Amino acid sequence: MAIAALSLGSNLYNRNRYLASAVELLAAAPLRIIKLSKAYETEPVECSPQPWFLNQVVLAETSLAPPMLLEFLLGIEERLGRRRAGERGARTLDMDLLFMDALVISTARLTLPHPSAATRRCVMVPLCEVAPAWIHPLLGLSASDLLARSTAPGRVMRRREQ
């Protein structure tokens, strides 16, 4: 069994519903959710003007190999209406595999840890909520240290309870 961190994001239509549906599908999957961060309103960066995102991080235990887990996540995205309209376009759901334990993988299809996770506040803020002590295997810094050192743009605000 491995511990994996997954980043969920949505910036189209009913963002709350998309994140909740993704979590529901993950909970019924061959993995066990250990922790779920709160949802955060995050400003889009590195993309054309578009609506703000709602982001969340899931920490889960799984027996799936990384490539299989990635395919499973892509299947959930598709099931929930993800259409890939250009790079970094608005989306109903985006799911990224951030890390699995301390694995380091670099293939054409999968890179672990996720290559830009450590530099995105929309990922690091919710990750620090569920796994602040996780050590980035290439950088040797904890999630908390990475967030504290971040100078990345983009506002991240905890979502008010509804």
Q: Using an 8 Å Cβ cutoff, are 145 and 124 in contact?
A: no
Average pLDDT, the chain: 86
**How many domains does one find in the chain?**
1
Distance CA 98, CA 18 (A): 19
Mean pLDDT of 43-64: 85
- Of the candidates 133, 57, 150, 42, the one whose C-alpha atom is nearest the C-alpha of residue 95 is 57
- d(C-alpha 27, C-alpha 25), whole Å: 5
Q: Which of the 8 DSSP states describes residue 119?
A: G
Rg of the Cα trace of the chain? 15
Q: Percent of the chain at pLDDT above 70?
A: 90
Q: What is the mean pLDDT of residues 62-67?
A: 94
Residue in this structure with the two tokens 């699995």, named with its chain if needed: 100
Q: Can you tell me the distance from the alpha carbon of 109 to that of 105, in angstroms, rounded to the nearest whole number?
A: 10
Residue 29: band (very low, low, confident or very high) from pLDDT cuts 50, 70, 90: confident
Q: What is the pLDDT of residues 104-161, one digit of tens each?
A: 999 999 999 988 888 888 888 999 999 999 999 999 999 999 988 888 777 777 876 5
What's the rounded mean pLDDT across residues 77-93?
A: 69
Pick the residue with more confidence: 47 or 21?
Answer: 21
Structure tokens at 8: 């969920």
Return the SS3 of 43: coil
- Boundaries of domain holding 54: 2-158
Give the per-residue pLDDT at 82.
61
Question: How far is 151 from 156, CA to CA, in rounded Å?
Answer: 13
CA proximity to 150, closest of 123, 114, 113, 119: 119
- pLDDT class for 52, splitting at 50, 70, 90? confident
pLDDT of 87: 60
**Which of helix, strand or coil describes residue 85?**
coil
Looking at residue 125, what is its pLDDT? Answer: 92
The CATH number of whichever domain residue 107 belongs to comes to 3.30.70.560
**pTM of the model as a whole:** 0.88
The pair of structure tokens assigned to 10 is 């949505």
Dist. CA 106–CA 69, nearest whole Å: 15
Look at residue 162 in the predicted model and tell me its pLDDT. 46
